[in-house]
Chains A and B, each alone.
Chain A
Amino acid sequence: MGHRGPFWLRHRGGHGGPLRRDPDDRLGGGVAAGVAAWKGFSVTTVRIVFVLVTLVSAGWGVPLYVLAWLFIPAVGAEANIFSKARNDSGGIRLAVGLASLLIFVLLVAGALNGGWFISWAWPQVFSIAGLALIWRNAPSQEQATLRHLLEPLGAATGDVAPSRRSAWRLVIAAVLMAAGLGWLFSAHASLALLRPLGGVLLVTAGIVLALGPWWLRIARDLALERQAKARAEERVDIASRVHDSVLQTLALIQRRADDPQKVVQLARLQERELRSWLFEGRDPDEDEAELTFAAGVRQIQQDVEATYGVPVEAVTVGDCELDENLSALIAAAREATVNAAKWSGASVISLFAEVEPGEASIVVRDRGKGFDPEAVPADRKGLAESVHGRMARRGGTATVTTAPGEGTKVTLKMPRSMTASRT
């Protein structure tokens, strides 16, 4: 990707289309996601800016957000909620009816009681009427969310047809809350310290009893949603792995069908990659963070197969951390394996590595044409310098057994310094 810089400034380029809310990627109404997609900023950036604006402007961001939610259509919808509500005559009648009913109730309540309740309640009448309109015209998905949010209110008014149990729960909650409130108010008269505390406890218990199950359900839904998401992600991961590696390799194999050696090489490479991913949980693309002896041997196998197209059968017994001695051993083994791949003409090279408490050894063997050790010209330094020299400098030994037509076997042994074995 060509976009550099911190993720919150990264500009992916807007989609250039009209501004649309994105209910699929939302925390609230999907406004931020819509703006982000429209202008091409990270959605997180938009959200942070919005929160900052809200804080600085003493809360004005919230009504602005609600207005935006009302006036910006969702993705895939032609009209916004506001214009739909304006044309919804049935809804308007319902809102007016609801408002008048509430006004009547409030008037009665005002006549009986008067004072603070009325002044606090009037704005609510209009809010509720407005909510009814919005409700009817919001897209079905957002209706579901709103219903979720308003569920306890519905239960309290009998709107959702509460079961017998939840009815009992609400009655007990109401009694507890009433008792608690009464206790609290009566505490004004006396100065006993414990009594208001008891009132607070009762009120809290009432609220928890009334709303607790609903909160629990929200939490559980969230957990379920998260699980489903994790499963989906895993599937996507597997699908992309299969696509990136297996399908690509199969395609390559089809195209190279006329070159058997290349096909074998591709198949081996893919097999090893898939195997290490499936059975060992290792991502072949990752660097081996902690390089061990066995990983070093695996690396030789991989590189030689990839470079020379000769299969390498590697067997490793035991494992331990690499130190300088063992790194030298691995380097010598690599040289010997490369030599075998280049010169022996063998169809397969076997690589056997073993870590024992006292020493580590690697045997590189092929059934190729072999050579006469006496006849190797002095300037061919591969075996002499890279293998013998490397081993000898660190106190190891290298033995080459070969004869023309007999194949070649290079046995490398290196004493181990005092480090713990991980067999």
Chain B
Amino acid sequence: MSAPRVVLVDDHGLFRSGVRAELGRQVEVVGEADDVQPAIDLIASVLPDVVLLDVHLPGGGGQAVVQAIKADHPEVRFLALSASDAPEDVIAVIRAGARGYVTKTISTAELADAVRRVAAGDAVFSHRLAGFVLDAFAGGPAADAKPSFDPELDQLTGREREVLRLIAQGYTYKEIARELYISVKTVESHVSSVLRKLQLSTRHQLTRWAAERRLT
């Protein structure tokens, strides 16, 4: 597979040039933008494989970019980056449609790996995001069952929980596969299924976090 084509969206020029310098050899950086509207225009014209998207942008949250692009270009994939680990940031951008979330302290090798994985259609969870998801889906549905409650979407399976726990402990997909005696492909499908639940579930915790960022 050729190197994925990447657009960087971040309002810190310093951060963009840092990422470009570090990732330069492993991915093809085809453009940079520093705000919501320029980013939307740029992405629509160059149609990259992956957009590295800062959660905090001056002209609105990163999710505004995701929402604007998703409608017309569902093939463009987003990997969210943030300096903060506030659950509402993470959940909001994931629910808008990002395929993954990593913190800005991530190492270059891991970031390149995450970009490749998102380009291939997988989900990428940082260990912190895995922690949030476990937290949000903790306990039974009794506490906040809504009329729209759907056990299919609103609860994690035991296996998904195990996978998330291992991600939260810093395991790679390969290590998880070995630990649970399953294939890496199976690990990936568990994570993708968790991502789908994260985006579609109406669990109270998730909607609350999303509402804190005015996203419904």
The chain A residues found within 8 Å of chain B, CB to CB, are 271, 275, 278-279, 313, 315-318, 348, 350, 352, 354, 356-357, 363, 365, 409, 423
Contacts and interface: CB of A to CB of B under 8 A. Distances in A.
Contacts, number: 45
A315 B128 contact: yes
Interface centre among B84, B130, B131 (most CB of A within 10 A): B131
Given A315-B130, A316-B131, A354-B165, 20 more contacts: A275-B84, A278-B84, A279-B86, A315-B128, A315-B131, A315-B168, A317-B134, A317-B135, A318-B135, A350-B127, A350-B170, A352-B168, A352-B169, A354-B134, A363-B165, A363-B169, A365-B169, A365-B170, A409-B169, A423-B135
22 contacts: A271-B105, A275-B84, A278-B84, A279-B84, A279-B85, A313-B127, A315-B128, A315-B130, A315-B168, A315-B169, A316-B131, A317-B131, A317-B138, A318-B135, A348-B170, A350-B127, A352-B131, A352-B169, A356-B138, A363-B169, A365-B170, A409-B169
Interface of B: 84-86, 105, 127-128, 130-131, 134-135, 138-139, 165, 168-170
Contacts of A279: 84-86
Nearest to B88: A279
Contact of B127 (A271, A315, A409): A315
Contact of A423 (B85, B138, B169, B170): B138
Contacts of B128: 315
A271 B83 CA distance: 10
A317 B135 CA distance: 5
Interface centre among A313, A350, A357 (most CB of B within 10 A): A313
Contacts of A365: 169-170
A313 B103 CA distance: 12
B85 to A, nearest CB: 7
Nearest to B143: A423
A356 B165 CA distance: 13
A406 B88 CA distance: 36
Contacts of B130: 315
Contacts of B105: 271
Nearest to A279: B86
B27 to A, nearest CB: 24
Contacts of A317: 131, 134-135, 138, 168
A253 to B, nearest CB: 15
Contacts of B127: 313, 315, 350, 352
A355 to B, nearest CB: 9
Contacts of A315: 127-128, 130-131, 168-169
Contacts of A352: 127, 131, 165, 168-169
Contacts of B168: 315, 317, 350, 352
Contacts of B86: 279
A112 to B, nearest CB: 74
Nearest to A348: B170
The 4 closest A-B pairs by CB, nearest first: A315-B131, A350-B170, A315-B168, A317-B134
B209 to A, nearest CB: 13
Contacts of B139: 357, 423
A364 B139 CA distance: 24
Interface centre among B86, B127, B135 (most CB of A within 10 A): B135
A192 to B, nearest CB: 66
Contacts of B135: 317-318, 423
Contacts of A318: 135, 138
Contact of A313 (B134, B138, B170): B170
A316 B139 CA distance: 15
A305 to B, nearest CB: 13
Contacts of A363: 165, 169
B208 to A, nearest CB: 14
Contacts of A271: 105
Contacts of A278: 84
Interface centre among B84, B85, B127, B170 (most CB of A within 10 A): B170
B181 to A, nearest CB: 15
B135 to A, nearest CB: 5
Contacts of B134: 317, 354
A356 B84 CA distance: 26
Nearest to A280: B86
Nearest to A357: B139
A356 B105 CA distance: 29
Nearest to A356: B138
A357 B138 CA distance: 10
Nearest to A363: B169
A292 to B, nearest CB: 14
A34 B207 CA distance: 58
Contacts of A275: 84-85
A401 to B, nearest CB: 10
A350 B138 contact: no
Nearest to B168: A315
A352 B165 CA distance: 8
A317 to B, nearest CB: 4
A43 to B, nearest CB: 43
B203 to A, nearest CB: 13
Nearest to B87: A279
Contacts of A348: 170
Contacts of B85: 275, 279
B184 to A, nearest CB: 18
Nearest to B139: A423
A350 B169 contact: yes
A363 B164 CA distance: 13
Contacts of B138: 317-318, 356, 423
B56 to A, nearest CB: 12
